[in-house]
Copies of this chain bind each other. A is one copy, B any other.
Amino acid sequence: MHRLDVELGDRSYAIHAGGDLLADPEWLARVLTAPALFIISDDNVAPHYLPSLRAALGQRLRGELVLPAGEAQKQLDTLSRVFDHLAECRIGRDAALVALGGGVVGDLTGFAAACWQRGIDFYQVPTTLLAQVDASVGGKTAVNHPAGKNLIGAFHQPRAVIADTDTLATLPEREFRAGLAEVVKHALIADPDFLAWLEARVEALNAREPETVGETVLHCCRIKAAVVSEDERERGRRAILNFGHTFGHVIEGALGYGQWLHGEAVAAGMVQAMVLSRTLGLLNEEEQRRAVALMERLKLPCEPPALSVDTWLEWMSRDKKATSAGLRFVLLDGLGRAIIRDDVPESRLREVLACEMQSP
């Protein structure tokens, strides 16, 4: 088991990553320290891991809510249901929520914790690759609005993250792939050595070789923790973690949340961001080819769905990253080197969007 600390002053917390964590009630009881707890999970995950969490918490468990799995739950109506349950179970200021599941459960639970009684503690227990490498670290919580992804939310740091990599063995294939997209993202934006490391381990990753997957999770958390520690509330550099997301959020929103998994949309979105980076002379053809080759070997979707240029632009203008001055893009100035640009000419963007439409 590895422990990694996210340094954020009095909001610092530990990420515990490794195998067999959820099978150890005594250890869990020591990490989940709140005097009263309420678990939120979904109906895919709960049958597997809820019993052992229950055993760990004993009398301190004040209630639980198991939601239908899927992105469609990440919305205000579900949040309202969560609040009803918290009220019913008398969840007070010193209690904590536990998010047991993937990114949807984590984002929703974290936001519920951020708002309930103006903020109570919560723990992240991510059970998908995407949540372990990305969603559960960094304190971004949110629900979706029909007009856009994660439009309603808060920065609220977890008290601790427990990433049991054994949970990834039973993850549906599509979800595992979606998580690999965020893994590749971490390499592309910040760490060329990690990119090479991944290239050398494609077979092990595709086979979910536990040691390799565990090291991968830990390395991504390390990259993300460093970025977040520097810029908790995304006033600057942290935005590089959104690489692929300006395009990806359009795919998710325009097709209806849940059609494409978040990681799938980010994968296709990263390719679009790389094409735009090339158009602007930031990335060369060889670099792009190398990145796309890795993604293809990891069986990630590299082509966006067919959407009209107007649809792309319409949705982009509603994205959180848009300001009244215009759109903001995270681009690659070489592999492993993300930059943020506010000055992309609309004509160049339109070229990229139109060109992508003709792809197979």
Q: Contact residues of A with B, CB < 8 Å?
A: 35-36, 76, 79-80, 83-84, 87-88, 90, 92-95, 114-119, 140, 142, 145-148, 150-155, 233-234, 317-318, 320-325
Contacts and interface: CB of A to CB of B under 8 A. Distances in A.
A118 B35 contact: no
Contact of A87 (B88, B92, B145): B145
B35 A324 contact: yes
30 contacts: A35-B325, A76-B76, A76-B80, A76-B83, A83-B151, A84-B145, A84-B147, A87-B146, A87-B147, A87-B148, A90-B322, A92-B324, A93-B320, A93-B323, A94-B323, A94-B325, A95-B324, A114-B154, A115-B152, A115-B154, A116-B152, A117-B151, A117-B153, A118-B140, A118-B142, A118-B154, A118-B234, A119-B154, A119-B155, A119-B233
A118 B147 CA distance: 15
A331 B317 CA distance: 52
A154 B154 contact: yes
B323 A90 contact: no
B320 A87 contact: no
A92 B117 CA distance: 27
Contact of A317 (B90, B145, B233): B90
A325 B94 CA distance: 9
Contact of A320 (B36, B118, B145, B155): B118
Interface of A is mostly: mixed
Contacts of A90: 317-318, 322
Nearest to A143: B115
A322 B92 contact: yes
A79 B76 CA distance: 10
A37 to B, nearest CB: 11
A210 B76 CA distance: 44
A224 B358 CA distance: 62
A118 B153 CA distance: 5
Nearest to A95: B324
A95 B234 CA distance: 16
A90 B318 CA distance: 6
Given A94-B324, A116-B152, A117-B153, 11 more contacts: A76-B76, A76-B83, A84-B145, A90-B317, A90-B318, A92-B320, A93-B320, A93-B323, A94-B323, A115-B152, A118-B234
Nearest to A140: B118
Contacts of A116: 151-152
Nearest to A234: B118
A87 B151 contact: yes
Return the 6 tightest CB-CB contacts between A and B, nearest first. A87-B147, A117-B320, A118-B153, A94-B323, A36-B324, A115-B152
Contacts of A153: 115, 117-118
A40 to B, nearest CB: 16
B118 A155 contact: yes
Nearest to A77: B80
Nearest to A154: B118
Contacts of A233: 118-119
